[in-house]
Amino acid sequence: MPAVIPCADLQITRRYLDQLVEAAVRAPSGDNLQPWQFEVHPDGRRVIIRVDATRDPSPMNAGQRMAWIAVGAAAENMLAAARFNGQEAVVDFSHESDAAVVHVDDVPEAEFRPDPNILARVTNRKLYEGRAVTDQTLGLLQERTPPLAESKTDWIVDPARIEELAEIIRQSDAVLFGNPAMREAFFRSVRFDAAADAEVDEGLSLASLEIRRREVTAFRMASRMPHWLFRAAGVARTIGAKSAQLVKSSSGVCVITTTNDTPAAHVSVGRALSRAWLALTDAGLAAQPMMSPLVLANALRHASTSAFSASERQQSATLVDLLERALQLNDGDRPAFLLRFGYATPPSGRTGRLSTTRAFSTPH
Protein backbone atom coordinates (compact mmCIF):
# COMPACT_ATOMS: atom_id res chain seq x y z
CA MET A 1 0.00 0.00 0.00
CA PRO A 2 1.64 3.34 -1.00
CA ALA A 3 2.34 5.78 1.84
CA VAL A 4 1.07 8.70 -0.26
CA ILE A 5 -1.86 8.20 -2.60
CA PRO A 6 -1.69 10.24 -5.83
CA CYS A 7 -4.43 12.84 -5.98
CA ALA A 8 -6.29 11.25 -8.92
CA ASP A 9 -6.36 7.88 -7.12
CA LEU A 10 -7.68 9.50 -3.98
CA GLN A 11 -10.56 10.98 -5.99
CA ILE A 12 -11.48 7.58 -7.39
CA THR A 13 -11.16 5.97 -3.99
CA ARG A 14 -13.36 8.61 -2.42
CA ARG A 15 -16.08 8.01 -5.01
CA TYR A 16 -15.80 4.28 -4.41
CA LEU A 17 -16.00 4.75 -0.64
CA ASP A 18 -19.13 6.85 -1.11
CA GLN A 19 -20.66 3.99 -3.12
CA LEU A 20 -19.80 1.57 -0.34
CA VAL A 21 -21.38 3.89 2.23
CA GLU A 22 -24.54 4.00 0.07
CA ALA A 23 -24.62 0.22 0.51
CA ALA A 24 -23.91 0.55 4.24
CA VAL A 25 -26.91 2.77 4.96
CA ARG A 26 -29.25 0.24 3.32
CA ALA A 27 -28.55 -1.96 6.38
CA PRO A 28 -31.33 -2.61 8.90
CA SER A 29 -31.47 -0.59 12.14
CA GLY A 30 -33.84 -0.64 15.09
CA ASP A 31 -36.97 1.39 14.18
CA ASN A 32 -35.06 2.62 11.11
CA LEU A 33 -33.26 5.22 13.24
CA GLN A 34 -29.92 4.76 11.42
CA PRO A 35 -27.74 5.27 14.51
CA TRP A 36 -24.43 5.44 12.65
CA GLN A 37 -21.87 7.98 11.64
CA PHE A 38 -19.22 7.50 8.95
CA GLU A 39 -15.81 9.09 8.70
CA VAL A 40 -13.31 8.61 5.90
CA HIS A 41 -9.78 8.32 7.29
CA PRO A 42 -7.33 10.84 5.72
CA ASP A 43 -5.48 7.90 4.09
CA GLY A 44 -8.59 7.41 1.92
CA ARG A 45 -8.57 3.65 2.47
CA ARG A 46 -10.51 3.29 5.70
CA VAL A 47 -14.05 4.10 6.70
CA ILE A 48 -14.63 4.47 10.42
CA ILE A 49 -18.18 3.72 11.57
CA ARG A 50 -19.24 4.94 15.01
CA VAL A 51 -22.50 4.80 16.90
CA ASP A 52 -24.29 8.15 16.89
CA ALA A 53 -25.93 7.85 20.31
CA THR A 54 -28.16 10.89 19.68
CA ARG A 55 -30.11 8.96 17.02
CA ASP A 56 -31.69 6.32 19.24
CA PRO A 57 -31.96 7.18 22.94
CA SER A 58 -34.80 4.66 23.40
CA PRO A 59 -34.78 2.28 26.39
CA MET A 60 -35.15 -0.47 23.74
CA ASN A 61 -31.59 0.46 22.76
CA ALA A 62 -30.22 0.38 26.32
CA GLY A 63 -26.42 0.56 26.34
CA GLN A 64 -26.63 1.35 22.57
CA ARG A 65 -26.51 -2.43 22.02
CA MET A 66 -29.04 -2.41 19.16
CA ALA A 67 -27.15 0.52 17.59
CA TRP A 68 -23.89 -1.46 17.61
CA ILE A 69 -25.68 -4.31 15.84
CA ALA A 70 -26.81 -1.84 13.15
CA VAL A 71 -23.23 -0.57 12.78
CA GLY A 72 -22.05 -4.17 12.30
CA ALA A 73 -24.70 -4.75 9.63
CA ALA A 74 -23.67 -1.52 7.86
CA ALA A 75 -20.01 -2.59 7.89
CA GLU A 76 -20.87 -6.03 6.50
CA ASN A 77 -22.93 -4.43 3.73
CA MET A 78 -19.80 -2.53 2.67
CA LEU A 79 -17.87 -5.82 2.48
CA ALA A 80 -20.66 -7.45 0.47
CA ALA A 81 -20.79 -4.48 -1.93
CA ALA A 82 -17.00 -4.58 -2.40
CA ARG A 83 -17.09 -8.35 -3.00
CA PHE A 84 -19.90 -7.95 -5.53
CA ASN A 85 -17.54 -5.63 -7.42
CA GLY A 86 -14.66 -8.10 -7.30
CA GLN A 87 -12.82 -6.42 -4.43
CA GLU A 88 -11.98 -7.48 -0.91
CA ALA A 89 -12.52 -5.28 2.11
CA VAL A 90 -12.10 -6.24 5.75
CA VAL A 91 -13.64 -4.97 8.94
CA ASP A 92 -12.16 -4.86 12.42
CA PHE A 93 -13.09 -3.21 15.66
CA SER A 94 -10.86 -0.42 16.93
CA HIS A 95 -10.99 -0.31 20.72
CA GLU A 96 -8.93 2.91 20.59
CA SER A 97 -11.50 4.84 18.58
CA ASP A 98 -14.47 2.70 19.74
CA ALA A 99 -15.57 2.08 16.15
CA ALA A 100 -15.89 -0.50 13.41
CA VAL A 101 -13.27 0.15 10.75
CA VAL A 102 -13.67 -1.00 7.15
CA HIS A 103 -10.36 -1.28 5.26
CA VAL A 104 -10.56 -0.99 1.50
CA ASP A 105 -7.54 -2.00 -0.52
CA ASP A 106 -8.28 -1.36 -4.14
CA VAL A 107 -10.80 0.25 -6.42
CA PRO A 108 -12.72 -1.87 -8.96
CA GLU A 109 -11.60 -1.29 -12.53
CA ALA A 110 -15.08 -1.62 -14.01
CA GLU A 111 -17.93 0.75 -13.23
CA PHE A 112 -19.38 0.16 -9.74
CA ARG A 113 -22.52 -2.00 -9.69
CA PRO A 114 -24.82 -2.02 -6.64
CA ASP A 115 -25.43 -5.48 -5.12
CA PRO A 116 -29.09 -6.33 -5.95
CA ASN A 117 -29.53 -8.25 -2.68
CA ILE A 118 -28.54 -5.19 -0.65
CA LEU A 119 -31.14 -3.13 -2.55
CA ALA A 120 -33.84 -5.82 -2.27
CA ARG A 121 -33.38 -6.74 1.43
CA VAL A 122 -36.37 -5.50 3.39
CA THR A 123 -38.26 -6.19 6.62
CA ASN A 124 -41.41 -8.11 5.78
CA ARG A 125 -43.97 -8.05 8.64
CA LYS A 126 -46.65 -10.04 6.80
CA LEU A 127 -47.93 -13.48 7.72
CA TYR A 128 -45.74 -16.00 5.87
CA GLU A 129 -46.90 -19.13 4.05
CA GLY A 130 -45.67 -21.63 6.67
CA ARG A 131 -43.97 -23.70 3.98
CA ALA A 132 -40.79 -25.53 5.05
CA VAL A 133 -37.49 -24.77 3.36
CA THR A 134 -35.79 -27.64 1.54
CA ASP A 135 -32.62 -29.23 2.90
CA GLN A 136 -30.82 -27.72 -0.06
CA THR A 137 -31.93 -24.18 0.83
CA LEU A 138 -31.09 -24.74 4.49
CA GLY A 139 -27.64 -25.97 3.45
CA LEU A 140 -27.08 -22.83 1.37
CA LEU A 141 -28.11 -20.58 4.26
CA GLN A 142 -25.77 -22.42 6.63
CA GLU A 143 -22.93 -22.26 4.13
CA ARG A 144 -23.29 -18.47 3.80
CA THR A 145 -23.29 -17.90 7.58
CA PRO A 146 -20.14 -19.50 9.05
CA PRO A 147 -19.18 -18.56 12.62
CA LEU A 148 -17.40 -15.21 12.99
CA ALA A 149 -14.83 -14.37 15.69
CA GLU A 150 -17.47 -13.26 18.20
CA SER A 151 -20.79 -14.55 16.90
CA LYS A 152 -22.46 -17.72 15.66
CA THR A 153 -25.52 -18.27 13.46
CA ASP A 154 -28.01 -21.12 13.82
CA TRP A 155 -31.08 -21.94 11.75
CA ILE A 156 -34.09 -23.41 13.57
CA VAL A 157 -36.63 -25.12 11.28
CA ASP A 158 -38.21 -27.73 13.56
CA PRO A 159 -41.93 -26.76 13.89
CA ALA A 160 -42.04 -27.69 17.61
CA ARG A 161 -39.11 -25.39 18.34
CA ILE A 162 -40.59 -22.59 16.22
CA GLU A 163 -43.79 -22.92 18.27
CA GLU A 164 -41.81 -22.74 21.51
CA LEU A 165 -40.09 -19.54 20.36
CA ALA A 166 -43.44 -18.10 19.24
CA GLU A 167 -44.76 -18.47 22.78
CA ILE A 168 -41.71 -16.75 24.32
CA ILE A 169 -42.01 -13.91 21.80
CA ARG A 170 -45.75 -13.58 22.55
CA GLN A 171 -45.07 -13.07 26.24
CA SER A 172 -42.03 -10.83 25.64
CA ASP A 173 -44.00 -8.52 23.33
CA ALA A 174 -46.71 -8.25 25.98
CA VAL A 175 -44.15 -7.21 28.63
CA LEU A 176 -42.37 -4.83 26.26
CA PHE A 177 -45.51 -3.05 25.02
CA GLY A 178 -46.90 -3.08 28.56
CA ASN A 179 -44.03 -0.82 29.62
CA PRO A 180 -44.94 2.84 28.94
CA ALA A 181 -41.37 4.03 28.23
CA MET A 182 -40.68 1.22 25.73
CA ARG A 183 -43.98 1.65 23.96
CA GLU A 184 -43.69 5.44 23.77
CA ALA A 185 -40.24 5.06 22.19
CA PHE A 186 -41.69 2.70 19.57
CA PHE A 187 -44.67 4.94 18.76
CA ARG A 188 -42.35 7.99 18.48
CA SER A 189 -40.66 6.32 15.53
CA VAL A 190 -43.94 5.64 13.68
CA ARG A 191 -44.42 8.19 10.90
CA PHE A 192 -48.06 9.15 11.45
CA ASP A 193 -47.17 12.43 9.70
CA ALA A 194 -46.40 10.77 6.34
CA ALA A 195 -48.57 9.01 3.76
CA ALA A 196 -49.03 5.37 4.85
CA ASP A 197 -47.00 3.98 1.94
CA ALA A 198 -44.37 6.75 1.71
CA GLU A 199 -40.74 5.63 1.71
CA VAL A 200 -39.98 7.72 4.81
CA ASP A 201 -36.35 8.78 5.21
CA GLU A 202 -36.28 7.67 8.86
CA GLY A 203 -38.63 5.89 11.25
CA LEU A 204 -41.39 3.45 10.30
CA SER A 205 -44.15 4.01 7.76
CA LEU A 206 -47.60 2.56 8.49
CA ALA A 207 -47.44 0.38 5.36
CA SER A 208 -44.07 -1.11 6.41
CA LEU A 209 -45.76 -2.07 9.70
CA GLU A 210 -48.57 -3.72 7.69
CA ILE A 211 -51.14 -1.45 9.33
CA ARG A 212 -54.13 -1.53 6.98
CA ARG A 213 -56.10 1.59 6.11
CA ARG A 214 -59.04 0.56 8.33
CA GLU A 215 -56.67 -0.08 11.27
CA VAL A 216 -54.89 3.29 11.18
CA THR A 217 -57.33 5.09 13.48
CA ALA A 218 -57.24 2.35 16.14
CA PHE A 219 -53.43 2.21 15.92
CA ARG A 220 -53.15 5.97 16.31
CA MET A 221 -55.56 5.86 19.26
CA ALA A 222 -53.47 3.13 20.90
CA SER A 223 -50.38 5.32 20.52
CA ARG A 224 -52.07 8.06 22.57
CA MET A 225 -53.92 5.99 25.18
CA PRO A 226 -53.25 6.68 28.84
CA HIS A 227 -51.53 3.74 30.52
CA TRP A 228 -54.57 2.56 32.48
CA LEU A 229 -56.68 2.35 29.32
CA PHE A 230 -53.92 0.62 27.33
CA ARG A 231 -53.78 -1.98 30.11
CA ALA A 232 -57.54 -2.30 30.52
CA ALA A 233 -58.00 -2.76 26.77
CA GLY A 234 -55.34 -5.52 26.76
CA VAL A 235 -53.52 -3.93 23.82
CA ALA A 236 -50.08 -5.31 24.77
CA ARG A 237 -51.53 -8.83 24.96
CA THR A 238 -53.13 -8.41 21.52
CA ILE A 239 -49.79 -7.30 20.06
CA GLY A 240 -48.12 -10.36 21.66
CA ALA A 241 -50.72 -12.72 20.19
CA LYS A 242 -50.21 -11.21 16.72
CA SER A 243 -46.42 -11.63 16.98
CA ALA A 244 -46.79 -15.29 17.99
CA GLN A 245 -49.01 -15.84 14.94
CA LEU A 246 -46.34 -14.25 12.72
CA VAL A 247 -43.61 -16.52 14.12
CA LYS A 248 -45.80 -19.62 13.72
CA SER A 249 -46.37 -18.73 10.06
CA SER A 250 -42.61 -18.80 9.42
CA SER A 251 -40.43 -21.53 7.92
CA GLY A 252 -37.85 -20.96 10.60
CA VAL A 253 -36.01 -18.66 12.96
CA CYS A 254 -32.40 -17.60 12.50
CA VAL A 255 -30.63 -17.19 15.84
CA ILE A 256 -27.40 -15.26 16.28
CA THR A 257 -25.49 -15.77 19.51
CA THR A 258 -22.44 -14.18 21.02
CA THR A 259 -20.24 -14.90 24.01
CA ASN A 260 -19.97 -11.42 25.48
CA ASP A 261 -21.61 -8.04 25.78
CA THR A 262 -19.04 -5.66 24.31
CA PRO A 263 -19.61 -3.27 21.37
CA ALA A 264 -17.15 -5.41 19.36
CA ALA A 265 -19.30 -8.50 19.97
CA HIS A 266 -22.45 -6.66 18.92
CA VAL A 267 -20.73 -5.44 15.74
CA SER A 268 -19.98 -9.10 15.05
CA VAL A 269 -23.66 -9.94 15.62
CA GLY A 270 -24.63 -7.21 13.12
CA ARG A 271 -22.20 -8.63 10.56
CA ALA A 272 -23.70 -12.10 11.00
CA LEU A 273 -27.18 -10.60 10.70
CA SER A 274 -26.38 -8.90 7.42
CA ARG A 275 -24.90 -12.12 6.01
CA ALA A 276 -27.94 -14.14 7.07
CA TRP A 277 -30.45 -11.61 5.74
CA LEU A 278 -28.66 -11.16 2.40
CA ALA A 279 -28.51 -14.95 2.01
CA LEU A 280 -32.25 -15.15 2.74
CA THR A 281 -32.94 -12.41 0.19
CA ASP A 282 -30.86 -14.24 -2.38
CA ALA A 283 -32.91 -17.40 -1.70
CA GLY A 284 -36.20 -15.50 -2.21
CA LEU A 285 -37.13 -15.69 1.48
CA ALA A 286 -38.79 -12.93 3.53
CA ALA A 287 -37.51 -11.99 6.99
CA GLN A 288 -38.40 -9.97 10.10
CA PRO A 289 -36.42 -9.45 13.32
CA MET A 290 -38.41 -10.50 16.42
CA MET A 291 -36.35 -8.80 19.06
CA SER A 292 -38.63 -8.38 22.08
CA PRO A 293 -36.98 -11.08 24.28
CA LEU A 294 -33.56 -9.61 23.53
CA VAL A 295 -34.73 -6.05 24.17
CA LEU A 296 -35.87 -7.28 27.59
CA ALA A 297 -32.54 -9.07 28.20
CA ASN A 298 -30.69 -5.93 27.23
CA ALA A 299 -32.83 -3.70 29.41
CA LEU A 300 -32.19 -5.97 32.38
CA ARG A 301 -28.46 -5.57 31.87
CA HIS A 302 -28.20 -1.93 30.87
CA ALA A 303 -31.26 0.18 31.57
CA SER A 304 -31.51 2.24 34.72
CA THR A 305 -33.45 0.34 37.39
CA SER A 306 -36.37 2.76 37.02
CA ALA A 307 -37.08 1.58 33.46
CA PHE A 308 -38.83 -1.54 34.80
CA SER A 309 -41.06 -2.27 37.76
CA ALA A 310 -40.06 -5.16 40.04
CA SER A 311 -42.67 -7.39 38.42
CA GLU A 312 -41.52 -6.47 34.88
CA ARG A 313 -37.95 -7.32 35.90
CA GLN A 314 -39.10 -10.67 37.24
CA GLN A 315 -41.16 -11.48 34.13
CA SER A 316 -38.30 -10.43 31.84
CA ALA A 317 -35.74 -12.53 33.73
CA THR A 318 -38.04 -15.58 33.47
CA LEU A 319 -38.53 -15.05 29.72
CA VAL A 320 -34.80 -14.62 29.06
CA ASP A 321 -34.18 -17.83 30.96
CA LEU A 322 -36.86 -19.65 28.94
CA LEU A 323 -35.34 -18.34 25.70
CA GLU A 324 -31.84 -19.50 26.63
CA ARG A 325 -33.15 -22.96 27.43
CA ALA A 326 -35.30 -23.15 24.28
CA LEU A 327 -32.26 -22.30 22.16
CA GLN A 328 -30.21 -25.12 23.72
CA LEU A 329 -27.10 -22.94 23.82
CA ASN A 330 -23.57 -24.00 24.66
CA ASP A 331 -22.18 -22.77 27.97
CA GLY A 332 -21.21 -19.11 27.77
CA ASP A 333 -23.24 -18.39 24.60
CA ARG A 334 -26.04 -15.86 24.85
CA PRO A 335 -28.72 -15.00 22.29
CA ALA A 336 -28.27 -11.66 20.53
CA PHE A 337 -30.62 -11.68 17.50
CA LEU A 338 -33.78 -13.49 16.35
CA LEU A 339 -34.89 -13.27 12.71
CA ARG A 340 -37.94 -15.18 11.53
CA PHE A 341 -37.98 -16.14 7.85
CA GLY A 342 -40.27 -17.74 5.33
CA TYR A 343 -42.07 -17.46 2.01
CA ALA A 344 -44.37 -14.45 1.59
CA THR A 345 -45.66 -11.87 -0.85
CA PRO A 346 -43.69 -8.58 -0.82
CA PRO A 347 -44.30 -6.15 2.08
CA SER A 348 -46.95 -3.44 1.66
CA GLY A 349 -44.36 -0.72 2.17
CA ARG A 350 -40.65 -0.22 2.62
CA THR A 351 -38.64 2.45 4.38
CA GLY A 352 -36.16 4.88 2.84
CA ARG A 353 -32.99 6.36 4.32
CA LEU A 354 -31.57 9.76 5.25
CA SER A 355 -29.06 11.11 2.74
CA THR A 356 -25.57 9.70 3.20
CA THR A 357 -24.24 13.28 3.39
CA ARG A 358 -25.88 13.53 6.81
CA ALA A 359 -24.27 10.29 7.88
CA PHE A 360 -20.73 11.63 7.37
CA SER A 361 -19.15 13.23 10.42
CA THR A 362 -16.52 14.98 8.31
CA PRO A 363 -17.17 17.66 5.65
CA HIS A 364 -18.28 16.02 2.45
Ligand X SMILES: Cc1cc2nc3c(=O)[nH]c(=O)nc-3n(C[C@H](O)[C@H](O)[C@H](O)COP(=O)(O)O)c2cc1C
Residues that bind ligand X (CB under 6 A): 28-32, 66, 69-70, 73, 122-123, 125, 204, 288-291, 350-351
Q: What are phi and psi of 152, to 5 degrees?
A: -140, 145
Nearest approach in angstroms of CB 363 to ligand X is 27
Q: What are phi and psi of 26, to 5 degrees?
A: -80, -5
257/351 with CB nearer ligand X: 351
Taking CA atoms, 238 is separated from 36, 83, 181, 211, 231, in Å, by 33, 44, 18, 14, 11
Residue placing its CB nearer to ligand X in the complex, 170 or 350: 350
Give CA–CA dist 336/265, Å, rounded.
Answer: 10
CB of 5 to ligand X, least distance (A): 34
Q: Which residues of 124-155 are buried (b: 16+ CB within 10 A; e: fewer)?
A: bbbbbeeeebeeebbebbeeebeebebbbbbb
Q: Which is nearer to ligand X, 34 or 251 (CB)?
A: 34
If the CB atoms of residues 13 and 35 are measured against ligand X, the closer one turns out to be 35
Closest chain position to ligand X (CB):
28
Is the Cβ of residue 85 or residue 348 nearer to ligand X in the bound state? Answer: 348
Least separation in angstroms between residue 221's CB and ligand X is: 21
CB of 350 to ligand X, least distance (A): 5
Of 79, 60, 58, 84, give the one whose Cα is nearest residue 270: 79
CB 145 within 8 A of CB 275: yes
Distance from C-alpha of 191 to C-alpha of 205, rounded to nearest angstrom: 5
Q: At its nearest, how many Å lie between ligand X and the CB of residue 8?
A: 35
